Structure formats: structure tokens, C-alpha cells
Amino acid sequence: MKVVILAGGLGTRLSEETDVKPKPMVEIGGKPILWHIMKIYIKHGFADFIICGGYKQEHIKQWLDKTKDNIGCNVQLIDTGDLTMTGGRIKRIKEYTENRPFMLTYGDGVADVDLKKLVKFHKSNSKILTVTAVQPTGRFGGLKINHNTNQVEEFNEKPKGDGIWINGGFFVCQPEIFSYIKEDSTIFENEPINDIVSKGELMSYKHHGFWRCMDTLKDKNDLNDMWNKNQAEWK
């Protein structure tokens, strides 16, 4: 099963790094986060990649030329346009998926998802799309307060975010998803997914383990800190 990685966005919230390189090339532990993501899939036996390039994709090409033979995988880097939205990028790689089911994720998130179980779950439900649902760590300390006395009864430095489940990437897709995407300006997470939901064709695979998205400089620093302290749960 092919693995599609969205790696062409501008990464504006991490502009400290992305002014000079695409977000998937931002390094964690001396390796681009794209390398970490690919290694997650390779570990579970998925080693046939389609990289959706765009903004500053020449950096990805140069890195792949030096690296891909050493990480044991097949990689195609496809130019999906500098300003193309997520849905448009997926639409542009349709021919490379060979009209077969494929896996899909973002070029900025790492997790310890059991990908074989994810694929098995997807196949068992016979739906068009499965998304890995995660509960992100809160960005602020959580307090449990006795409202009669105002005494703090519990302090949680990094609580889960209010019990809400969010899109954690790590999708499994049927070829039918292409029919829901109109053009380059289509954002996959808007109309296409909402239309799929309205038809009862989206399933969630709940992941209770580690997941982290590298949205900001703080996220990058946190991931580097985990790596340097040998606490990288996605490793």
C-alpha cells in the first residue's frame, strides 16, 4: 500500500525555520521530520512513498537524492504546486496511486500509531476514509478546584484537551476520495471530508498513545528535547 505525505505547504506558523526550507525539512534530532515520519511507516512494513512537494521542494529533492537509498524505500517526489491546498495536492497524485487504497498523512506529525492495526480497522469497515483520531495534550496547566473553598485539589501540567478528539492525520483512503476533490484550491479538511461524513463514509481509528504535531517553534523544541532525552515515543 502506497503512503502519500503532504509536504508542500508554506508552514507559516514556523516561519523561523520555513523562511529558508520547507516544513518537512525542519530537523528533529539532526534529521528532517519527514525522515521520522517515513521511518514510522517503514517500521510497520509500508515503504512505498509519494511525497507531495511544493514550497521549496528542491530541499526535499536534494535530501532524498542523498538519503533514500539508505533508508530502504521507494520514493516519488511529485510537484503539486507551491500554493495548492491539501485537497488539490491529493488530487494531483491520483495517477500515482494506481486506483488502489492508499495511506495519507501530513509532513509535520509524529506518533506511535500501530499502522497495521489502522489498515486492518479500515478494511474491516469498508468505508471510503479512515482518520486517526487523537486527543492532544493541552498547552496550559489544568487545575481541579474545590469551588467551595477555592483550594486546588489537583494540578496536571499537561492534561489532555478537554476530552475532544481531533484529526491526527494517518489516514487510510479508498480511491473514491478523488471524486470529492474539485480543484487545486480545495481544502481536503473542508468540503471533501464533510461530504464524506454526510454520506456516512468516514471512520475514526482512536489512538490513545503518543501524537504530536510540529506547528510552532515551541513544538519543534519540545520534540528535539524528547529526542535528546531518549523520550521520543515515536522512535
Quick one: three-class SS letters along 10-73? CCHHHHHHHCCCCHHHCEECCEEHHHHHHHHHHHCCCCEEEEEECCCHHHHHHHHHHHHHHCCC
pLDDT of amino acid 158: 60
Contacts of 33 (CB under 8 A, 6+ apart): 23, 24, 25, 26, 27, 107, 108, 110, 214, 223
Which residue stretches of the chain are H helix? 15-18, 33-43, 57-67, 86-92, 115-125, 191-198, 217-228
Q: Do residues 73 and 42 make contact, with C-beta atoms less than 8 angstroms apart?
A: yes
Architecture of domain 2-135+162-228: Alpha-Beta Complex (3.90)
- Domain limits of the chain? 2-135+162-228
Q: Which residue has the cell 454526510?
A: 198
Compute the C-alpha angle 173/179/185, nearest 5°. 95
Contact 165, 92 (CB under 8 A): no
Provide the pLDDT for residue 144. 73
Q: Give pLDDT, residue 163.
A: 66
What is the mean pLDDT, run by run of 10 residues, along the chain of 235 residues? 94 79 94 96 96 95 86 91 96 96 97 97 96 81 73 67 82 97 95 94 94 92 95 93
Asked if 52 and 93 touch (Cβ cutoff 8 Å), the reply is yes
Cα dihedral 96, 52, 59, 211, rounded to 10, equals -120
Q: Quote the pLDDT of residue 16.
A: 77
pLDDT of residue 27: 95
Predicted pLDDT at 151 = 72
- Could you tell me if 1 and 118 are in contact, meaning their C-beta atoms sit under 8 angstroms apart? no
Report the alpha-carbon distance of residue 40 to residue 235 in Å, rounded.
7
Identify whether the C-beta of residue 187 lies closer than 8 Å to the C-beta of residue 87. Answer: yes
Q: Which helix (H) or strand (E) holds 148?
A: none
